[in-house]
Structure 1
Amino acid sequence: MLHSFRLLLVCLTFHVIGAADLLIPPQIIKPPFPWNPATAGQSRTVYVQALGDALTYRWQRCDPLTGQWSAIAGATMNMYSIPPLQASQHGVKYRCVVANGLGEVASTPALFSVSNSRGLTPPLITWQSPPPTVIPPATAQFAVAVGYGSNPLSFRWQSAPVGGRFSDVPGATDPLLSVTVPDLAMNGRQYRCVVANSAGSAISAPTTLTVSANGPAISGPVLPTTATFPPVFVNTWPAFMSNSVGQLSILAADALAVPAPTFRWQLRRPGTTTWIDLPNETRKSLVGQPLTSADHGSAWRCIATNPLGSVTTVPMMIAVNDGGGYKPLVLTQPVGRTTSVDSTVQFIASAVGWPAAQHRWQLAAPGSNAFTDLPGATAQTLSLVASADRNGARVRCVFSNAKGSTISEPATLTIR
């Protein structure tokens, strides 16, 4: 009996992904929540949401005493569960470094305040003014802001000559210190503030006064040398926060200004673009009514004003969980792109939802309002060939989960 055999040769090609294959550098679209109160013994979880190709994650911790950042062994996911916090960790910070072959970016830090067994929180200085440079005679200003700390708080400013010890400045018991500078003899003098309450104390970093005969020569923002300055927010906001039905939305905006600022809160209803003033909400904190499902997608912001100007926080969008999750909310809208014919362009869109949102990109031909699905386009990044017949086409992303669907704004492709 004759047997025939066939030899099948299979060639396998392996390709190692390198920087040249990556199209999207890392971009953090949702950093950790910046302000995180906790009680000693409690655990917390921090996470980031990022865009980009082949991303890696590295979590770091900043020691509250040394101010030094160090890597956390094994913390290489976009989420990190913090071990039970101790009172000695009051002021600890966590951040995530997101990287790929095109670069890396660090998230804004998540700051934790830790209250003691009596429920009291020591002061935590979250901002201090940059070192001033003045031409005598002048007035130099120093200021601190306390993000956390049980009331009542006391402030005590101290100063030290060059090479000398710190001693109290008589009568300096406010968050803002104004110092008269008559001549060059005060050059190099340092100032710091001791903030205290019944739970403990905190000392600001020493700030050096520069007195110049030739005028200021420093870069970056500085406080004016007069006794007034416009508002500046000294805490940061995330773009998104989730809560459950029935919970209160509690927001706080901390601004420093001289004269002291007034506060105004505004609300943007879901599906609208108009901001509405909230009557009688004139404090730096806002406690809203218990949330309902109708509040899903609302946004809040705060405006701080004094005679020299005003500043507005970034809007914070609220997701409301009804117990079974929540419908997707768009965080990043796609942006129109201009490119040359037959090149490849990328559009990016992102959303949050629970369960996690699925992506579905759609395309409308030039001059048409009819959007149709793009086969296989189910990632947060869309790569599209800019063929000549697509000049003026629009793309959008549909985000879906078990709770419903949300559609992004359209973005237009322009071909030169």
Structure 2
Amino acid sequence: MPGSKLWGPALLALMCLLQLGLATGAGARPALIVTSENAVPNVTQQPVATTVKEGETASFEAAATGTPAPTVKWEFSSNSGASWSPVSGGTANKLSIANVKTTFSGRLYRATFKNVAGTASSEGALLTVQKGPSVSKQPLALTAEEGQSATFEATATGVPAPTVQWERSTDAGVSWGAIEGAKASLLTLPSVTMAQSGLEYRAVFHNAAGEATSAPATLTVHAPPVLTVQPQSTTVEVAQSVSFEAAATGTPEPALQWEISTNSGGTWSAIGGATANQLTIASAKVSESGDEYRAAFTNVSGKATSAAATLTVATFHYTAVGWGQNLFRQLGDGSSNSLSAAPVTAAGLHFVSAVAAGGRHSLALVASGTVYAWGNNEDGQLGNGGTATANTPAAVPGLSGVKAIAAGANHSLALLGNGTVMAWGDNEGGELGNGTTKESAVPVG
């Protein structure tokens, strides 16, 4: 038949139609006509997994062939592909999801293509949504006592979870340096020192989406007062001025208040206006003799009180003089002369109220109640714990409030204000009165 090549497909379709009509009865219409040109969809472009930041637009693209041209419908799964839901408006080869949120992260997206010949779905493509760090808890400024620990804390949100690195600034935030090993939300500084006071600390958070830095937090280290200068007991004449001085360190700088006791330290009272390191009494009175003074230093970390210093107001200003043999330096003038036929002044003594001469040593009592001794010390009669000769007066340690003195050949005696007698030196004949015959180089009661 002429043109059989052109008529072949049409003739085949017509034969199929006739056969269908014969099978269903004359006049019946077929429900579906399938021609040899229809083809099931075939995915030619798979969507690719994508990573975006929160608020950005995520895009997936897929393509497929098929006859007739297939339609497309995008779907998503929130359970790793176990079930799928349609994406509203997702009917084009390219799917754009605007303003993505971190709640979308982990979803799978696929394109399903469909025509009269069948259906085909692409592979699922993973959407990952990242969010840069955002500081959720700022570190707070801390105040710690010297030697205690201090802990700063900072946290941040972000997807993926951010890492943290603490930094420190020693120049008021001009420059920062990483603290080795400080990679947790808590930064603990053990046993802080005054050198760390004023340093600033901050946390830097980082993930794949960005970086965030906390506000800086300052460490303040406090230290309680520590006495560096103690007031010294002083003896002056009536109407003379006298000064006591005390000093202390501490952070913050401690406040100072001078106090007075008129009952040998039984009670203390603040001296009005006496808040400087030096306390001056312009004109000392006899009635003030024996008063004690001390300095109290206070800051937020604690309080420190100085030792008490006693004011002695003397109505006299005598020195001690001696003459005669000096082989054992019992004249106390510091010379090495064997004797002096004229009076010489014992070195360094003021306000002397009594003297006593032993066989080869000498004693002096001053207005403050202190005893001085010099000369031979073979038997410990100088009361300083040793046996070396002294060529100038030196205070007998541990004695105060002495009212009277006496000297034996090689021993010494002192009467205290409470009536106790103290003795030291030779005890061969029981001179010390302590029930033994053992000498003592220090005063014993």
Larger radius of gyration: 2
TM-score by length of 1: 0.28
- Bigger relative contact order, structure 1 or 2, given CA contacts below 8 A and separation 6+? 1
